[in-house]
Structure 1
Amino acid sequence: MNSNAAPRRILIVEDEVHIAGGLIFNLEQEGYAVHHVENGRDAFDLLDQEHFDLLVLDLMLPDISGLEICRHVRDYFPDILILMLTALGTDEDRIAGLAQGADDYLPKPFNLDEFLLRVKALLRRAPAAAAKPSPRFYRFGDNSVDLEQGLAHTPRGDFDLTDLEIKMLKVLIKKAGQVVSRAELLQEVWGVTPDTETRTLDNFVVRLRKYFEKNPARPVHIQTVRGRGYRFVRKQG
């Protein structure tokens, strides 16, 4: 690995902690930046937030099957390489994994040296990303949004967002957990001076809450911070 390059980023999705611990230690010894989660939901959340070069994916997980995660990654993050690990080692299982988009498949128990060689061979296929790309798809609560096409899927139904609604949502998402002032939103979304007197911003907040909040009168995602602005919260408390 080039010592001057940023380390390749690997996400391990594995619920057997002792296996994950050994993989993490050995991959870090090879110079990779490694993250680990034990279930599919946490994997989806992390994939939405950060860029990874390789996904090391167990097939049998406690909440979502590895095959379903594989399909999701291929649809939403097509550039991520996938190495599937599983105790199901028949030809049919291997073919099923590859058919869902896995780049390689290693049955358990496996030889650690072979695993490291497979990882190295996979990562040679694709150059390291110069920077973390902005996510196209974003999930929060029970909602998901295609930020390129402006399509929102929510428990209330599907909605087509306007360009300005998407722009405002992107600003809030980018600064999730932080207070975003009215002045900042007016400047970044509408390109007007911070001291502009307008109800447009308030009307947009009302619309976004109608789309994404279970109870718009008591919002959990797009919160008002009195006297300061708004805060976007991804997960419900």
Structure 2
Amino acid sequence: MELLLVEDDLRVSELVKRGLEEQGYLVTLAYDGLMGKKLMTSNRYDLIITDIVLPRMNGIELCKEIRMIWPEIPVIMLTALGTTDDKIDGFDAGADDYLVKPFDFRELHARIKALLNRSLSTSHAPVAKVLKYADLEMNLQTNVVSRMGMEISLTPKEFKLLEYMLRNKERILTRAEIADKVWDTHFDTGTNFIDVYMNYLRKKIDKNFDHKLIHTKTGMGFIFKES
């Protein structure tokens, strides 16, 4: 597996590179965002790790560039910024996971393995091209979501959350299950984090429509069904 690490802290980048190479990965280093963009544009990596605070181009912008070219490649963000808003910014840019500095290398390695395994399994799984329920439609090829013919703009994580709910419609989904399946089993999103994203999605999917599709089950979780 070949990984790209974008990190401007020389000590951190060398330590992470050495640790990953000891685990059998091929690691390419970039010390600023533009160098990272140039490398990922001309090479296909199995996974990309990037800091957020970078010279020349920050990690949020880099992640958006990655998603435009390689939408399927897993991205892990490393950063000292650990607030809920910071995490939401990272996930909205298209990151798959988020690790706050300082971190234990073993945790980073566990998350890398989980994302690579997930990437390999989903790449071979047959997937329906269009998901439909009630008056809502999700096209997985064009990433277009519409309700009653009106297109709805979603961030990458909102899209992934809605897709999971559509695939598990009319079934109560706990916060723990959503954190596990939509994010990563090693990532502790916390109850509030799940609720924040669910509120974002509800405003876009339900607010302007008479029939609500996303419902909260007090003390249990959420369910996607016609009211």
Under a length normalisation based on structure 1, what TM-score does the superposition of the two structures give? 0.50
**Residue 29 of structure 2: aligned partner:** 36
Matching residue within 52, 61, 74 for 1:59: 52
**Residue 78 of structure 1: aligned partner:** 71
Q: Distance in 1 between matches of 2:18 and 2:5?
A: 12
The superposition leaves residues 114-160 of structure 1 with CA deviations (integer Å, 9 ceiling, x where unpaired) of 111111111111229xxxxxxxxxxxxxxxxxxxxxxxxxxxxxxxx
Matching residue within 100, 103, 114 for 1:107: 100
State the Cα distance separating 1:42 from its structure 2 match: 1.0
List 4+ stretches of structure 1 deviating above 4 A.
none
Matching residue within 39, 42, 51 for 1:49: 42
**Residue 118 of structure 1: aligned partner:** 111
Matching residue within 83, 98, 111 for 2:91: 98
State the Cα distance separating 1:102 from its structure 2 match: 0.2
Q: Distance in 2 between matches of 1:67 and 1:48?
A: 16
Q: Distance in 1 between matches of 2:94 and 2:40?
A: 17
2:64·2:93 contact (CA, 8 Å) conserved in 1? yes
Residue 110 of structure 1 aligns with an amino acid whose one-letter code is F
Residue 53 of structure 1 aligns with an amino acid whose one-letter code is D
Q: Distance in 2 between matches of 1:113 and 1:17?
A: 20
- Secondary structure of the corresponding residue to residue 126 of structure 1: helix
State the Cα distance separating 1:31 from its structure 2 match: 0.6
Residue 73 of structure 2 aligns with an amino acid whose one-letter code is I
Gaps of 5+ in 1: 1-7, 129-237
Q: Distance in 2 between matches of 1:64 and 1:26?
A: 26
The superposition leaves residues 186-232 of structure 1 with CA deviations (integer Å, 9 ceiling, x where unpaired) of xxxxxxxxxxxxxxxxxxxxxxxxxxxxxxxxxxxxxxxxxxxxxxx
Q: Which has the higher helix share?
A: 2
- Secondary structure of the corresponding residue to residue 12 of structure 1: strand
**Residue 81 of structure 2: aligned partner:** 88
Matching residue within 51, 62, 79 for 1:69: 62
Q: Distance in 1 between matches of 2:40 and 2:115?
A: 19
State the Cα distance separating 1:111 from its structure 2 match: 1.1
